[in-house]
Amino acid sequence: MRLKDKIAIVTGAGTGIGEAIAHKFSREGARILLAGLPNDPVQDVAAAIAANGGQAEAFLGDLSEEAQALRCVEAAVRRFGRIDVLVNNAGIFIANAETDAYRVEDFDRTIRANIRTAFLMTKFAIPHLHKTRGNILFTGSEAGFNGSANMTPYGASKSFLHAFAKGVALEQAKHGVRANCVCPGAVDTAWTRGPGGPLSQEIQDTIDGTVPMGRRATPEEIANVFAFLASDEASYITGALLLADGGVTPGKGQMGDFVPDELRRPPASTLPLRHSHEGLRGKEIFYAK
C-alpha cells in the first residue's frame, strides 16, 4: 500500500497507460479522480475500481481548455478534500507525416493536448499540492530525448514536458513539492498496436526488433514506475526523467532481434485492464501518403 490514503488526479485515465496507472494507484491505496475526454471510458474504469473495493470518481472534459482544467482540479478537492498527486498523462498521437506534410491543425492539436493540458493542470493543482507537500508526475517519452521521425511535433511536445517537469521541480522544491517525469518507450496500447493508429502495420511489426529488450512495455510495467515515484519511497527524487524504454535510448540498430523468444514474453498482467487499445477511438488520424 505505497499510496495509502493519498488523493490523486490521473489525466487520460480511461485508456492505455492512464487506465493502468488508475488501477495500480487504487491497488496501492489511493483514492483517485480519473479525468478524460467525454468519449473516453473513464466511468467504466471508475466502476471497475469501485468493484475491486477502491474509490474513484470520473471527470469528463477537455483539459486543454482552461475552464475544464480548473473544474477538474476543483472536482478532486470537492470530492476528496485535497490533492497529494497529480499525474499529467493525457496526450495524443494523431498524425504520421514528414514535417513538410504535417498539417498545421495536427500540430496545434498536439500542442494543446500534450502541452497545454499539462501546463493548466499543473498551474491549478500547485496551490493544493503546497498544502499536502504533494508531487506531480508527467508522462514524457523516449521520443522527447531522441525525437521521432514522421511525427516531429509529437517528440518535441514530450521534450517540452521533460524541461517543464524539471523547471517545476526546481521552482517548487522550496514548497516541499516534487515533480518527476516517466519517459516510456513503446508501450502496448492503441498507439503501437492495432488498426487505425498513426503507425503503419509494417512499422508496428518492426517495433519490438528496435527495442534491446525485444518487446514493448505493458501498461502495467509503466504504471509501476509511476506508483514508485508518486510514493513517499521516492522522497528524495525530484527533477528526474526516468526512462522506462527497454533500452531504446542507448540502443543501436535492431538489437531486439537477438533476444530469445522466452525473454520476449511480457510479464502477465495483474491489473484488470479493459481499455488498453481504445485510446484512439473517435480521434481523427492523419496519415500522409
Ligand X SMILES: NC(=O)c1ccc[n+]([C@@H]2O[C@H](COP(=O)([O-])OP(=O)(O)OC[C@H]3O[C@@H](n4cnc5c(N)ncnc54)[C@H](O)[C@@H]3O)[C@@H](O)[C@H]2O)c1
- Show which residues are catalytic: 154
Nearest distance from C-beta of residue 282 to ligand X, angstroms: 8
Is 210 near ligand X (CB under 6 A)? no
> Residue 157 CB, nearest distance to ligand X (Å)?
8
Q: What is the DSSP letter of 199?
A: S
DSSP string, 203-225: HHHHHHHHSTTSSPBPHHHHHHH
110 binds ligand X (CB under 6 A): no
Burial category of 75 from C-beta neighbours within 10 Å (exposed 0-12, middle 13-18, buried 19 and up)? middle
Tell me which of 3, 30, 58, 63 binds ligand X, using CB under 6 A. Answer: 63
7, 9, 16, 166: which one contacts ligand X (CB under 6 A)?
16
Cα-based distances in Å from 75 to 60, 63, 78, 79, 88:
11, 13, 5, 6, 16
- Closer to ligand X at the Cβ: 113 or 227? 113
Q: Is 279 in the site for ligand X (CB under 6 A)?
A: yes
* Between 4 and 136, CB nearer to ligand X: 136
Strand ranges (E), the chain:
7-11, 31-36, 56-60, 85-88, 95-96, 135-139, 178-184, 241-244, 286-287
Binding ligand X (rule: CB under 6 A), the pick from 14, 198, 246, 256 is 14
Q: Which is nearer to ligand X, 16 or 134 (CB)?
A: 16
User: Which residues lie closer than 8 Å to 66 by C-beta, 6 or more apart?
Assistant: 120
* Binding span for ligand X by CB under 6 A among 16-24, 46-54, 229-237, 263-271: 16-24
Q: Which residues 30-49 are close enough to bind ligand X by CB under 6 A?
A: 35-37, 40
Please give the C-alpha separations between residue 187 and each of 2, 53, 58, 163, 221, in angstroms, as whole numbers: 24, 28, 24, 22, 9
Nearer to ligand X among residue 49 and residue 90 (C-beta): 90
Tell me if 192 contacts ligand X by CB under 6 A.
yes
Task: Specify whether the CB–CB gap between 280 and 286 falls below 8 A.
Answer: no
Q: Which of 10, 15, 28, 208 binds ligand X (CB under 6 A)?
A: 15
For ligand X, the binding residue among 186, 229, 242, 273 (CB under 6 A) is 186
Residue from 155, 184, 246, 256 that binds ligand X (CB under 6 A)?
A: 184
CB 97 within 8 A of CB 277: no
Binding interface with ligand X (CB under 6 A): 11-12, 14-18, 35-37, 40, 62-64, 89-92, 113, 117, 139, 141, 184, 186-187, 189-192, 279-280
